[in-house]
Amino acid sequence: MSSIVRSWPDWWRDEGHPLPLTGERTLPGVSQERYWFARHVAGYALADALIDVPDTRRPQRLLDAGCGEGFGSALLARSHRARRAVVGVDLDPASIAHATTAYGRLAEFCTAEVTNSPFADDAFGAVVASQVIEHLWDVDGWLREVRRVLAPGGTLAVLTPNRRTFTPHQDEPEDPFHTIEFAPPELHERLTRHFASVRLWGVWHGRRLRRVERLHRTTLPTAQADRSPDRWPRWLHRAVTRTRPEDFVPGPPSRARPPTESLDLVAVATARGTAPGRSVAVAH
Mean per-residue pLDDT pooled into runs of 10, the chain (284 residues) = 72 84 86 95 94 55 95 88 82 96 96 94 94 92 96 94 80 74 93 95 97 97 92 97 96 91 95 53 34
For residue 218, give the nearest of 230, 200, 202, 232 by alpha carbon. 232
User: DSSP letter at 133?
Assistant: G
pLDDT recorded at residue 1? 64
DSSP string, 146-187: HHHHEEEEEEEEEEEEBHHHHSTT-SS--STT-S--B-HHHH
pLDDT recorded at residue 5? 66
In a domain, 185, yes or no: yes
pLDDT recorded at residue 15? 78
- Rounded Cα gap, residues 104 and 74, in angstroms: 9
For residue 30, give the nearest of 240, 273, 268, 277 by alpha carbon. 240
In a domain, 278, yes or no: no
**Spatial contact of 39 and 68, defined as CB atoms under 8 Å apart:** no
In a domain, 275, yes or no: no
In a domain, 49, yes or no: yes
In a domain, 126, yes or no: yes
In a domain, 279, yes or no: no
pLDDT recorded at residue 284? 30
In a domain, 151, yes or no: yes
CATH of the domain at 248: 3.40.50.150
pLDDT recorded at residue 282? 33
pLDDT recorded at residue 84? 77
Domain that holds residue 137: 2-270
**Spatial contact of 195 and 272, defined as CB atoms under 8 Å apart:** yes
In a domain, 284, yes or no: no
Domains in the chain, number: 1
Question: What is the pTM for the complete model shown?
Answer: 0.89
